[in-house]
Amino acid sequence: MDERFMWLLAVMAFALTALPAAAAPAGPNGVPAGPNGVPAGPNDAPAGPNAAPPGDRGIVNTSRSPYVRLRSIGMDDARWTAGFWADRFRLCRTAMIPSIRQALLDPRNSEQLANFRVAAGLEEGAHRGTDWSDGDCYKWLEAAALVYAVTHDPELDRLMDEWIEVIGRAQSPGGYISTNIGRDEKARLQMPHRHELYNMGHLLTAACIHRRAAGKDSFLAVALKAADFLDRQFRPRPPALVHFPWNPSAYMGLVELYRTTHERRYLELAGILIDNRGSSPGGGDHRNGGTDQTQDRVPLRRETEALGHAVCATYLWCGAADVYAETGERALMDALERMWLNVSGRKMYVTGAVGAGAGTSPRGDPLHEAFLADYQLPGRAAYAETCANIGNAMWNWRMLGLTGDARYADVMERVLYNSMLSAVSADGTRFSYCNPLAWAGEDAGPTRHHTAARWSVHSCYCCPPQVARTIAGLHAWAYGVSDDAVWVHLYGGSRLSTRLPGGAPVALAQETDYPWAGGVRITVEQAPARPLALMLRIPGWAGKAAIKVNGKDAAVAAAPGSYAALRRTWTEGDVIELDLPLEVRLLEAHPAVKELRDHAAVMRGPVVYCLEVPADQGGARIWQDGLYLAEDAPLRPQFERDFLGGMVVLKGRALSESGRGALMRTTGGPPAPAAAQVPSGAPWPEGTLYRPLVPRAAGPRPSADERPAADRPAGGTIDITLIPYFAWANRGVSFMEVWIPLAR
């Protein structure tokens, strides 16, 4: 038998015996603490087969975390049954995972599974593609494991086993694994930009997910060796390694490994890496670290503004949120709240996307793929990388678990329906890196990552497996639990069968056509024989939401941007009906976003719409003639069953340049700007980046269809169809805009 295979079996056997950790020594006030003084928590206790709490198999396993308000459910406790997200999960299983595997085996692609075979000595060749290729291959394996947790598809199990064995053979005996460096020990950990810890961080996360999904220790054995290698390198805190990692996926991976093994060293190591960040500013070239590009000039606990690479930033905040969930360090939470207020109030696109592009930080550091200055949100040049957008959703999901605050769920949902889904084609086989908010019919955009059409292989293929692993596990984001409550975060046809933290079983069935319709029906299938709260999220846009229980008014507060608490002793067959009115609404941006003045975005429910005209349908001519929306333009929802799999579009009329001019003449010219829209000294709700459009016209005006003929332009109108933003670029090169000029 091959010696490497025998060695792998030995490592696996060791991992099985090493999982439970020894009890930590007592710290101050008698609280057990690890060797670095971090207070011990429930995750430090070994968990036997009868001791595992409900939700111990969560994607982000907070079932034992002492500083969360909501706890995770198991990755197979919920599943989509019908409707919007069920369709996307099916597409992930049947199209995304196979097409991503095909791309990872394509020699033209930047990310390469073959690198593991080369590193393992199973085939000849040199490393191909990007330095971060390994990490994105691990994300694909994570997506496969998440789908396997629900489907138990034997082919997925076989594929995972096949590649995990190869990865194990590629690992060095001391635990190091990053195929771009290989077994050259002198080349290891020399340059932060080589992304070795990005690769190993995603390995740790994927291995934990695989362990929970498949019940096997093969991948976990590789992860344990890698984590122990990192611990030996970084625990002494050598100055030469202070700027590692460049992209901090390792923070999340280490905390998840701690939650899986109960070995406190891994949590402490995540804390050490966070403490290192910003402790030695001024590294020079951003590839070396120490600059704002990687949030490494100022320690997180002292930072006041979101700056730098948007993926690195959101991963940093995710990791810090995970550490806070275990330690409760208030300084970390204060920093996360500051960052959230800055991002959501000044630096986030209406689609939930983040990362405006390239520039210079206030401290003089060059930036790219980055958060820029407050209110600097270009549309056509928006970078809005898919991985960063999903990182924003991941971070908000964690903040939701820590606090139970619905504002985080609103941002999470905004990303999921818009800037996450915009990255994948309707057939699930092609993807995009950047997600601009406008396109003018070009074949190429301002950077090589701005593309007119989605692609199957690319020069940086990090985003497709990011999309796949998010959709594959999204059912576990839909619900949370606390001691006496079940929380419903996302609406979609689904079934939940889980246990409360105390062990009581709960089962719910949800039926809805959301986001195309606002009615949600939840049937109680099982509940404890004691009072239990069902916490229903009322989105921030959902005015006049109504709730009934068994056909009667529930008589509970249903304020937008909150959770409505339905507390009672439930019986099997009880029915909750939630109605969320899906009114079409026009939004305006804060006047400090200069290029969006006198423009409006359109939303219905959580879905952002755009105006798209394919080039081969006269897009150039229509764009040249100009397109303007009246402030009160009626836009009618219409379900188009045959359009890209079926979705609600918005039908209405726009004005051309001549129509706008005619409207201005018949109404006496554009009204004066409202005070709220004056750029200087404008009253605007604090922390609000987008709000419902405030018309400039004095007093109420009838809609365009209701005005007398003398008050309507005789010509210059055009019928328009607005489509969900996520569906753009599925019909060839097109002209598209999310922010439509207003007829003012």
**Which residues 6+ apart lie within 8 Å of 532 measured at CB?**
484, 485, 486, 500, 506, 567, 568, 569, 570
Average pLDDT in the 266-295 region? Answer: 91
pLDDT for res 37: 39
State the distance between the two ends of the chain, measured CA to CA, in whole angstroms. Answer: 78
Residue 44 pLDDT > 90, yes or no?
no
**Hey, is 683 helix, strand or coil?**
coil
For residue 448, the SS3 value is: coil
What is the pLDDT at residue 235? 97
Note the pLDDT of residue 667.
66
pLDDT of residue 29: 27
Mean pLDDT of the chain: 90
- How many Cβ atoms sit within 10 Å of the Cβ of residue 301? 17
In DSSP terms, 587 is beta-bridged to 601, 692
Strand pairing of 546-549 and 575-579? Answer: antiparallel
Give the global pTM: 0.92
What band does 13 get if pLDDT is binned at 50, 70 and 90? Answer: very low
For each of the domains in the chain, give its residue range(s) and CATH number, in order of start.
Answer: 3-59+81-300+309-476 (1.50.10.20), 478-514+519-579 (2.60.40), 584-679+688-741 (no CATH)
Per-residue confidence at 568, pLDDT binned at 50, 70, 90?
Answer: very high
What is the average per-residue pLDDT within 248-276?
Answer: 98
Q: Is the pLDDT of residue 452 over 50?
A: yes
Confidence of residue 40 (pLDDT cuts 50, 70, 90): low
| 228 Rama sector, left if φ>0, alpha if ψ -120 to 50, beta otherwise | alpha
CA-nearest of 96, 77, 28 to 426 is 96
What pLDDT sits at residue 34?
37
674 pLDDT higher than 50? no
pLDDT value at residue 623: 86
- CA Rg, the chain, in Å? 26
Q: What is the pLDDT of residue 326?
A: 98
Could you tell me which residues come within 8 angstroms of residue 387 by beta carbon, excluding any fewer than 6 positions away?
311, 462, 463, 466
pLDDT at residue 662, rounded to an integer: 80
Count CA within 13 A, CB hemisphere, residue 355: 29
Helices 154-170 and 3-18, axial angle in degrees (round to 10): 100
89-103: b (≥16 Cβ within 10 Å) or e:
bebbbebbbebbbeb
pLDDT in tens, 332-359: 999 999 999 999 999 999 999 999 999 9
* Euclidean distance between CA atoms 44 and 221, whole angstroms: 19
Sequence-ordered alpha helix ranges (H) in 235-276: 249-261, 264-276
Highest mean pLDDT among 16-20, 590-594, 671-675: 590-594
pLDDT of residue 663: 77
- Residue 712, pLDDT score: 53
pLDDT greater than 70 at residue 391: yes
Identify the pLDDT of residue 625: 82
The whole-number pLDDT of residue 699 equals 43
Q: What is the mean pLDDT of residues 442-449?
A: 91
446 preceded by a cis bond (ω within 30 of 0)? no
Task: Centre a 10 Å sphere on the Cβ of residue 268 and count the other Cβ atoms it contains.
Answer: 21
Amino acid symbol at 315: Y
Q: Are 369 and 357 in contact, with CB atoms under 8 Å apart?
A: yes
- pLDDT of residue 12 exceeding 80, the answer is no
Q: What is the pLDDT of residue 323?
A: 98
Q: What is the pLDDT of residues 586-629, one digit of tens each?
A: 999 999 999 999 999 999 999 999 999 999 888 888 888 889 99
269: nearest Cα among 304, 228, 297, 307: 228
DSSP 8-class letter at 33: B
Share of the chain above pLDDT 70, in %: 88
